[in-house]
């Protein structure tokens, strides 16, 4: 669950209808930045457990990803 998503949507609706105060604009910006950080973290977590296998069954996981996985396992 993405924390703050309900508030982001609420502020977006307000922006479309009546507009936002400067305080609300700042809050919206901060919430959006937090949202993007959460999404990026989820994507990185998903990739950190990834193994790439070719049609012949060989592990062809990129070297950079393997190194990152090794760092995370330590």
User: Which pLDDT value is given to residue 65?
Assistant: 87
- Give the pTM: 0.68
Residue 31's CB: how many other CB atoms inside 10 A? Answer: 19
When pLDDT is averaged across residues 6-25 and rounded to a whole number, the result is 96
Mean predicted lDDT score pLDDT of the chain: 91
Task: Give how many domains the chain has, as a whole number.
Answer: 1
| Residue 20: per-residue pLDDT | 96
∠ CA 11-17-19, nearest 5°, is 65
- Mean pLDDT over residues 11-25, rounded? 96
Report d(CA 74, CA 69) in Å as an integer: 9
Structural domain that includes position 65: 5-73
User: Dihedral through CA 58, CA 59, CA 60, CA 65, nearest 10?
Assistant: 180
Q: Which residue has the higher pLDDT, 24 or 49?
A: 24
Taking residue 15's Cβ as centre, other Cβ atoms within 10 Å add up to 13
Say how far apart CA 38 and CA 52 lie, in whole Å. 25
The whole-number pLDDT of residue 1 equals: 67
């Amino acid at each position: 669950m993405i924390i703050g998503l309900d508030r982001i949507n609420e502020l977006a609706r307000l922006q479309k209808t009546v507009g936002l105060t400067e305080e609300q604009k700042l809050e919206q910006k901060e919430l959006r930045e937090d949202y993007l950080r959460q999404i990026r973290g989820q994507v990185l977590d998903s990739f950190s457990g990834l193994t790439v296998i070719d049609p012949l069954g060989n592990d062809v996981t990129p070297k950079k990803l393997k190194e990152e996985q090794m760092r995370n396992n330590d």
